[in-house]
Amino acid sequence: MTTGRPLVQAIDHHAELARAGAHVEGWGSSVLFQARRHPLGAIGLVIVAVFVLTAVFAPFLATHDPLATDPAASLAPPGPEHLLGADFMGRDLWSRIIYGARISLVVGVSSAALGCLIGVVVGLVSGFWGGWIDLIVQRINDILQALPLLVLALVMAASLGPSLTNTIIAISIPVIPHVARVVRSSTLSLREMPFVEAARAEGMSEWRIALRHVLPNTVAPVIVLATAQLGSAILTEASLSFLGLGIPEPHPSWGRMLSESAAEYVRTAPWLVIFPGLAISLVIFGTNLLGDAVRDILDPREKS
């Protein structure tokens, strides 16, 4: 019985623990650990980081004033003076794209955050208290979800009037029902959990239970949704501005830059079409990669 091959192979405890992430402590180290496990997500994180840094340090990266017009440079092709060329009014495209990152970042982050914030409150209240509040919230969600995202954002943006703040509000509204639905359904199941019952037995007030015990447990799915909404919000802003109902002139919005150039420049000045679109696509690509990784990390059940 004691001879022969051991039934259980010796386990290399250190390797196993390292694979499970036991050595991971603190923020920096856990980001590195996850980056190694999700290389595509790491690429996304790098793209998003470059995007954020571009927006923050725009004045140092831009070669020209993004709003300065120069009739002599009208439709100048890419070259040493204008790195990516210039538009019809002779404004430097490189500088406009650099400053455009600010618009995209501000609109994307604020509208995703605003939508998620309202969505969490609405979802928590309607899921935790139920009753007639829940009934009304559900019907409003139905109404908001009966229009495609862009149609709803379009009507909202038009009715609020063109401005930066109004564009943010218009884009955040279609986000609310999505978030509210997710938070509501997880609140419904959390409400029945033993730890909530225990808190209630202890005499904790309903408000405190909702905020201290239920809310923190909905954070993971909300973060997953928020990252996904970031890219979607940037795309919606670009589409609205492309249609002339988003960010007004003279702000250099990427979508607006494409609508100025649109069809007629396809023949005459292709750089005006290629570069702003490339910027939009790259940033959304980055947020999508990052969003997938965040979902895999926070919600292991839904592995892609």
Partner 1 sequence: MLSYIVRRFLLMAVTLFGMSVLIFVLLRLMPGNVADILFEAGGYIDPAERARIEAELGLDLPIIQQYVNWVGALAQGDLGFSYVTERPAAQEILPRIPITAQLAGWALLFSVVFGVPLGVVSAVRQNTGLDYALRLVSLSGLSLPSFWLALLIMMAFVRWFDFIPIYDGQPETLWDGFLVFALPAAAVGFRSSALIMRLTRSSMLEVLRQDYIRTARAKGAPDRSVNYRHALRNAMLPVVTIIGIEAAFLIGGLIVTETVFNIPGLARFLVESILWRDYPIVQNLVMFIAVVVVLVNFAVDMLYAALDPRIKYSD
| Minimum CB distance to partner 1, residue 214 (Å) | 27
**Closest C-alpha to 257, from 37, 35, 91:** 91
Helix (H, G, I), strand (E, B) or coil at 143: helix
Tell me the C-alpha to C-alpha distance, in Å, between residue 262 and each of 44, 90, 101: 29, 16, 20
- The whole-angstrom distance between residue 139's C-alpha and the CA centroid of its chain comes to 26
First to last CA, the chain: 46
| Minimum CB distance to partner 1, residue 230 (Å) | 12
Q: Which two tokens stand for residue 26?
A: 């603190």
| Minimum CB distance to partner 1, residue 171 (Å) | 13
| Minimum CB distance to partner 1, residue 287 (Å) | 8
* Closer Cβ to partner 1, 104 or 215, answer by number: 104
Helix (H, G, I), strand (E, B) or coil at 86: strand
- The whole-angstrom distance between residue 84's C-alpha and the CA centroid of its chain comes to 27
* Closer Cβ to partner 1, 61 or 140, answer by number: 140
Residues that bind partner 1 (CB under 8 A): 139-140, 142-143, 146-151, 154-156, 158-161, 231, 235, 238-239, 242-245, 255, 258, 262-263, 266-267, 270, 273-274, 277, 280-282, 284-285, 288-289, 292, 302, 304
| Minimum CB distance to partner 1, residue 72 (Å) | 26
**Closest C-alpha to 234, from 111, 149, 148:** 111
**Cα–Cα distance, 123 to 111 (Å, whole number):** 17
| Minimum CB distance to partner 1, residue 259 (Å) | 8
* Closer Cβ to partner 1, 173 or 209, answer by number: 173
Q: Which two tokens stand for residue 232?
A: 């979607």
* Closer Cβ to partner 1, 218 or 287, answer by number: 287
**Cα–Cα distance, 212 to 208 (Å, whole number):** 6
* Closer Cβ to partner 1, 44 or 199, answer by number: 44
* Closer Cβ to partner 1, 78 or 244, answer by number: 244
